[in-house]
Amino acid sequence: MISKLVGREFADNHPCVSWRGESFSAGNELSSFLQSQVRSRLDDEEGTDAFHNHLRGLELTGMGKANLEAVLNAEESENRDWAAGEALAEAYLIESESFIFPWNMERDKRNPFGSLPGADLVGFVAEGTGFRLALGEVKTSSEKNYPPQVMSGRSGHMGHQIDALASNLTTICHLIKWLHPRTRGGNYQQAFDLSCISYFNSGTKAVALFGVLIRDTIPNKLDLSVRGNALRQKLAQPTLCNLIALYLPWNTEHLTTNIRLGGDL
């Protein structure tokens, strides 16, 4: 499906670090993708439905049922641009890279307006008969410079974060520890076990790294090439790194609205 939504603008392939830019085409297919797969990620519809159904199945009095609905109706939807960008990146990677997300990180927010530390993207990708640990970062920018500050700033830029995901064992330990109880005894335990075997047996190098940049500007290879070339000097096989720029057909400020309501603003 994703091939019907995007067009390739530029690409630079490499055994270790590659990058590409793709533009979304406005239309009914993009609107449907946003309101189905992307909205499902943004709102964690699977987890939310299970939560609501469980509570509504409790033996409550009439007053209890009314109070339950009042509490459920008080829930606030995630409307921040960066969160919408992360949901778009996740849905795109599921379609284009067969990225497996065993857990929606929205479920871990104790504060609805908070963000979680560690990594934006945490999961697995299939590799032959096994799996590889997959980690990544997502940035959203309307800045007119190429590349934007989120890619080239002095601190906190995507390259710095991806380098940490590749080499900071403390970060890796926390992320694997976070994944463990969310996969244990479930459908993703095999993916967890096989990806860990691959990671440790490779000398902590067999990891798939992703950096996704959401833009509303004219496509330009400088968005990724500067940071990609720098990462090529630091990373080596069997580490795999993919930088992806996704260009929207309208301003990023409209992304959340289009996810919620549809239309091509």
Give the integer Cα–Cα distance in Å for 15 and 240: 8
Q: Which residues contact 229 (CB under 8 A, 6 or more apart)?
A: none
Check residue 217 and give left, alpha or beta (phi > 0: left; psi -120 to 50: alpha): beta
Instruction: Give residue 24's pLDDT band: very low, low, confident or very high (50, 70, 90).
Output: very high
Task: Report, as an integer, the average pLDDT of 40-65.
Answer: 91
Question: Residue range 48-59: average pLDDT?
Answer: 92
pTM over 0.85: yes
Task: Tell me the per-residue pLDDT of 122-137, one tens digit each, with 9 for 90 and over.
Answer: 999 999 999 999 999 9
* Secondary structure class of 12 (helix, strand, coil): strand
pLDDT at 113: 60
Give Cα 197 distance to the centre of its chain. Answer: 24
Q: Is 156 exposed, middle or buried (0-12, 13-18, 19+ CB in 10 A)?
A: exposed
- Torsional sign, CA 260, 262, 102, 248: negative
Which tens digits make up the pLDDT trace of 77-120?
767 777 899 999 999 999 999 999 998 777 776 666 656 567 89
Q: Which helix (H) or strand (E) holds 81?
A: helix 81-97
The values of phi and psi at residue 141, to 5°, are -150, 135
Which of 103, 101, 84 minimizes the C-alpha distance to 93? 101
Spatial separation of the C-alpha atoms in residues 27 and 64, rounded to whole Å: 45
pLDDT of residue 221: 97
User: In whole angstroms, what is the distance from residue 146 CA to residue 161 CA?
Assistant: 19
* Rounded Cα distance, 83 and 4, in Å: 24
Token pair 């995630």 is at which residue?
78
Q: Coil, strand or helix: which one is 238? A: coil
Q: Enumerate residues 6+ apart whose C-beta is below 8 A from 93.
A: 99, 121, 136, 210, 212
The per-residue pLDDT for range 145-190, each reduced to its tens digit, is 999 999 976 666 788 889 889 999 999 999 999 999 999 999 999 9
Residues 6 or more apart whose CB falls under 8 angstroms from that of 194 comprise 130, 131
Binned at pLDDT 50, 70 and 90, residue 265 comes out as very low
Instruction: Determine what percent of the chain is predicted with pLDDT higher than 70.
Output: 93
pLDDT band at 14 (very low <50, low <70, confident <90, very high): very high
